[in-house]
């Protein structure tokens, strides 16, 4: 991508979701934004010029002068805009046909359709935000929990960027000393002091990088969520449990075994953690070809799950069939859930003794009455985070940022090895220290390939 040519285009997009609504927003960004507005907008009060950051009332008209819609518009002059370019926003009545017609007029007047994330990409290329902040915007939009939203806001305001730049400053201090030793090799005084540099890297720099890597491992679930698979024999209450956790009737519930033949996937929030709930087909031997496929799919989902809830119907006696299924589930992270404890004359006591004898952890619930569903939610979080729920870290890198932090850490470890040799060579140390700096610079976008930019911004919606 040639950034200069890329920024010469004026771009536009419908910035609100399609469908019926009160207001729909269309954005235009680029050097021709105002001239395009003048071609299609007729102010209620005729005017020659538009003041920046003020709303104007009027009508969108086509080339024949026909009124398309009654609108409000605002013109925002660069650089006091999201993209640091001239920006126009049109607030029209929402509705697919109206917005599409206005958008077509904009394209016919000289703009091109924006690509996914292109407005934010321009904000980055024009220096309004760095790459870490751009990623935070995408995370802000896709946040599925309060904690994820809070983490995204911290990074949007420069939290990760500030921390990374602090670490870079410390590494630069090391590099200055090493490169001075390279530039003045014949000085009588030893400029590069290996032991001093080793202490600085080991005691000051690496712990800071490690804390960010650890924060990713601890806090990623608040942003990315977990995969929770509900498994068990037919009629164990899997679909009912899914509906209870979703707090809506999403899965079909009938007394007929084998109702769920495929898997059903929905999103929920449990104890502040985003959860992908997966209701699977009942596990049993079957000759039904469709149900058989559902059982195989269910078993594949076990491998992808962060946790499997294995439901057991305690209204039925202990059976080798269920214990055999449990043996298969036990190969993965799981929790045994004894369901239907509300049923009198059941086999709860027998199941308790059997599960206890297998050294399994379990929880007893009744989906029908809601008994212990709150305890089940807490137990799920405990199984994922440990018995003491950890505090959400202040800053949590993205996966891309975490990988770059690990690469910087490895480069610094190689620098330590070079410094630990009998006669350390400044040139070798400098190579590794520069590598560490380069990896950290990529986090904030100071050194970034076009492929990386394309990958990051392709995740954005059109209009952002």
Task: Output the pLDDT for position 27.
Answer: 97
Split at pLDDT 50, 70, 90, the class of 259 is: very low
Do residues 402 and 365 both lie within one domain? no
Rounded-to-integer distance, Cα 434 and Cα 447, Å = 12
Do residues 179 and 235 both lie within one domain? no
Better-scored residue on pLDDT, 451 or 290: 451
The domain boundary, picked from 83, 99, 130, lies at 130
Do residues 259 and 364 both lie within one domain? yes
Tell me: pLDDT of 255 over 70: no
Tell me: pLDDT of 261 over 60: no
Better-scored residue on pLDDT, 359 or 261: 359
Task: Output the pLDDT for position 184.
Answer: 64
Do residues 254 and 269 both lie within one domain? yes
Task: Output the pLDDT for position 449.
Answer: 64
Task: Output the pLDDT for position 1.
Answer: 46
Rounded-to-integer distance, Cα 439 and Cα 168, Å = 10
Among 69-73, 94-98, 206-210, where is mean pLDDT lowest? Answer: 94-98
pTM: predicted TM-score of the whole model, two decimal places: 0.71
42 forms bridges with which residues in the sheet?
Answer: 59
Better-scored residue on pLDDT, 154 or 284: 154
Do residues 66 and 101 both lie within one domain? yes
Rounded-to-integer distance, Cα 209 and Cα 216, Å = 11
Do residues 181 and 247 both lie within one domain? no
Q: Which domain holds residue 421?
A: 137-221+398-445
Among 25-34, 219-228, 409-418, where is mean pLDDT lowest? Answer: 219-228
Do residues 230 and 349 both lie within one domain? yes
Do residues 327 and 430 both lie within one domain? no
Per-residue pLDDT tens over the stretch 75-129? 999 999 999 999 999 999 988 899 999 999 999 999 999 998 899 999 999 999 9
Residue 405 domain-assigned (yes or no):
yes
Among 38-42, 56-60, 417-421, 456-460, where is mean pLDDT lowest? Answer: 456-460
Task: Output the pLDDT for position 252.
Answer: 41
Residue 450 domain-assigned (yes or no):
no
- Work out the mean pLDDT of the chain and round it to a whole number: 84
Task: Output the pLDDT for position 389.
Answer: 57
Tell me: pLDDT of 285 over 60: no
CATH of the domain at 31: 3.30.1360.120
CATH of the domain at 281: 3.40.50.300
Do residues 116 and 156 both lie within one domain? no
Q: Dig out the tokens for 279 from the structure.
A: 């209701």
Residue 174 domain-assigned (yes or no):
yes
CATH of the domain at 165: 1.20.120.430
Residue 463 domain-assigned (yes or no):
no
Residue 33 domain-assigned (yes or no):
yes
- Total domains in the chain come to 3
The domain boundary, picked from 76, 108, 130, lies at 130
Do residues 351 and 436 both lie within one domain? no
Do residues 311 and 424 both lie within one domain? no
Do residues 252 and 363 both lie within one domain? yes
Split at pLDDT 50, 70, 90, the class of 297 is: low
Split at pLDDT 50, 70, 90, the class of 384 is: confident
The domain boundary, picked from 130, 164, 199, lies at 130
Residue 19 domain-assigned (yes or no):
yes
Tell me: pLDDT of 22 over 50: yes
Residue 390 domain-assigned (yes or no):
no
Residue 454 domain-assigned (yes or no):
no
């Amino acid at each position: 991508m040639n950034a200069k040519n890329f920024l010469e285009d004026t771009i536009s997009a419908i910035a609100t979701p399609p469908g019926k609504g009160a207001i729909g927003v269309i954005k235009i960004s680029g050097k021709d934004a105002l001239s395009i507005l003048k071609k299609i907008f007729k102010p209620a009060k005729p005017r020659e010029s538009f003041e920046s950051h003020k709303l104007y009332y009027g009508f969108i008209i086509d080339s024949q002068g026909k009124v398309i819609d009654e609108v409000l518009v605002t013109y925002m002059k660069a650089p006091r805009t999201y993209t640091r370019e001239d920006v126009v926003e049109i607030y029209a009545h929402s509705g697919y046909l109206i917005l599409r017609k206005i958008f077509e007029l904009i394209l016919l007047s000289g703009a091109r359709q924006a690509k996914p994330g292109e407005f934010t990409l321009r904000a980055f290329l024009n220096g309004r935000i760095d790459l870490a902040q751009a990623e935070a915007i995408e995370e802000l939009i896709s946040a599925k929990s309060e904690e994820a939203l809070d983490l995204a806001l911290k990074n949007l305001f420069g939290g990760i960027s500030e921390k990374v730049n602090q670490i870079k400053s410390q590494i630069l201090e090391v590099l200055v000393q090493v490169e001075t030793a390279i530039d003045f090799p014949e000085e009588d005084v030893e400029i590069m002091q290996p032991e001093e540099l080793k202490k600085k890297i080991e005691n000051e720099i690496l712990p800071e990088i490690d804390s960010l890597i650890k924060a990713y491992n601890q806090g990623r679930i608040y942003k990315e969520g977990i995969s929770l698979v509900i498994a068990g024999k037919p009629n164990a209450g899997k679909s009912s449990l899914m509906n209870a956790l979703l707090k809506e009737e999403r899965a079909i519930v009938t007394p007929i075994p084998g109702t769920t033949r495929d898997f059903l996937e929905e999103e929920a929030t449990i104890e502040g953690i985003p959860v992908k709930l997966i209701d699977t087909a009942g596990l049993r031997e079957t000759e039904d070809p469709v149900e058989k496929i559902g059982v195989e799919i269910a078993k594949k989902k076990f491998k992808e799950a962060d946790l499997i809830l294995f439901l057991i119907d305690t209204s039925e006696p202990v059976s080798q069939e269920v214990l055999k299924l449990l043996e298969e589930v036990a190969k993965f992270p799981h929790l045994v859930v004894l369901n239907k404890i509300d049923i009198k004359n059941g086999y709860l006591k027998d199941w308790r003794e059997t599960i206890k004898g297998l050294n399994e952890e379990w929880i007893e619930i009744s989906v029908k009455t809601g008994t212990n569903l709150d305890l089940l939610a807490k137990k799920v979080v405990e199984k994922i985070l440990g018995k003491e729920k950890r505090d959400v870290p202040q800053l949590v890198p993205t996966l891309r940022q975490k990988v770059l932090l690990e690469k910087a850490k490895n480069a610094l470890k190689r620098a330590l090895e070079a410094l630990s040799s009998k006669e350390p060579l400044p040139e070798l140390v400098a190579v590794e220290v520069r590598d560490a700096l380069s990896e950290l610079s990529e986090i904030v976008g100071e050194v970034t390939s076009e492929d990386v930019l394309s990958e990051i911004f392709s995740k954005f919606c059109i209009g952002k």
